[in-house]
Amino acid sequence: MTFVQIIDCRTSRYEDMNRLMDDWVAATEGKRTATHAIVGKDRAQDGHYVEIVEFPSHEAAMRNSKLPETDRIFAEMAALCDGVPAFTDLDVVRDEQLNKTTTRRFFEEVARDGDLGLMDELFSAGYRDHDIGKEEPTVVGLDAMRSDVESWRGAFDFDFTLHSQLAEGDEVATRWTWRGTHQGDFMGHQPTGQDVTMEGTTTFRFQDGKIAEGWWIYDMLGLKRQLESGPV
C-alpha cells in the first residue's frame, strides 16, 4: 500500500531549507526509497510550508528514515524551522489521477466500444492530433479525430490492452497493445479476416479537464507487413 508522509512546518529561511533538500536528493541517490515529493507554500500564511513525500509502502519509508543522510539533513532542516515540524503518516486508500481516467475512457469507451458521442465530453473542440502514420501528420479539429476512429473501427474489430500510464503535469502517456481482426478496407488492403497486433504509445495533453492535443507513435510498418503476408 502506498504511504505518504506530510511534514508541516514554519520557517523564515525557506531558501536555506530548499538547498538542504537538494543536498539530500544528491546524497541519497541510489539509496532513497521516496518516489515523489511536493512542497507547497501557504498562500494565506507567510512562512507556512507543507511537504508531501510519497513512498511505495510504510516499510519503504522506514528504510528511508534510517539512512544516515536522512538523519543528518533532517536535523539541519529542523534547526531552520520556527518550532518543531508536525508529521502526519497516511496509508493511501484511494489514488486517482483524473486525466488518466479520462484517457482510459477514450481507449475503452470510444475507440473499443464505439461511443463516438462521448468524444465531445472528453476532447476540446480545437483538439490537435499528431499522428506519424498519416501523410499529413498534424490535423486540427475534433471532426478529424472522430473520422479516424470511425475509419479504424470500420476496418478492424479491435481492442486495446493498456500496459501502463504515466502522468506528469498536464500530460498522460499510455503504452498499449492493439489487437484486431481485419474486416474492412484499410489503406488499400481488402478485408482478410486476419488477426493482427500492433504496439504503440499515445501522449495526451489536457487543458481545462479535456484532451487538447495528442501524439501517436505506433508500428504501422509492422501492421502493413502482417496484412501483406496474409494469414499464417
Which domains are seen in the chain, by residue range? Answer: 3-91 (3.30.70.100), 98-229 (3.10.450.50)
Contacts for 191-200 with beta carbons within 8 Å, 24 or more apart?
Answer: 191/155, 192/227, 192/230, 192/231, 193/231, 194/226, 194/227, 194/230, 194/231, 196/156, 196/223, 196/226, 196/227, 197/226, 198/222, 198/223, 199/175, 200/175, 200/176
Q: Are strands 138-140 and 195-207 parallel, antiparallel or unpaired?
A: unpaired
pTM score: 0.81
Q: For residue range 18-64, what is the model confidence (pLDDT) as tens digits?
A: 998 899 899 999 999 999 999 999 999 999 999 999 999 999 999 99
Tell me which residue of 106, 127, 103 sits closest to 118, measured CA to CA. Answer: 106
Q: What is the mean pLDDT of the chain?
A: 93
Q: For residue range 136-172, what is the model confidence (pLDDT) as tens digits?
A: 778 899 999 999 999 999 999 999 999 999 999 999 9
Band (pLDDT 50/70/90 cuts) for residue 96 is confident
- Cα-flanking dihedrals φ and ψ of residue 222, to 5°? -65, -40
Q: Which helix (H) or strand (E) holds 48?
A: strand 48-55
Dihedral of CA 15/17/20/22: which sign? negative
Average pLDDT over residues 75-99: 92
Tell me which residue of 219, 230, 119, 226 sits closest to 177, measured CA to CA. Answer: 219
Tell me which residue of 113, 107, 147, 112 sits closest to 127, measured CA to CA. Answer: 147
Distances in Å between the Cα of 153 and the Cα atoms of 35, 71, 162, 182, 188 are 40, 58, 18, 10, 16
Buried b (16+ CB within 10 A) or exposed e, 56-71: eeeebbeebeebebbe
Q: Which helix (H) or strand (E) holds 140?
A: strand 138-140
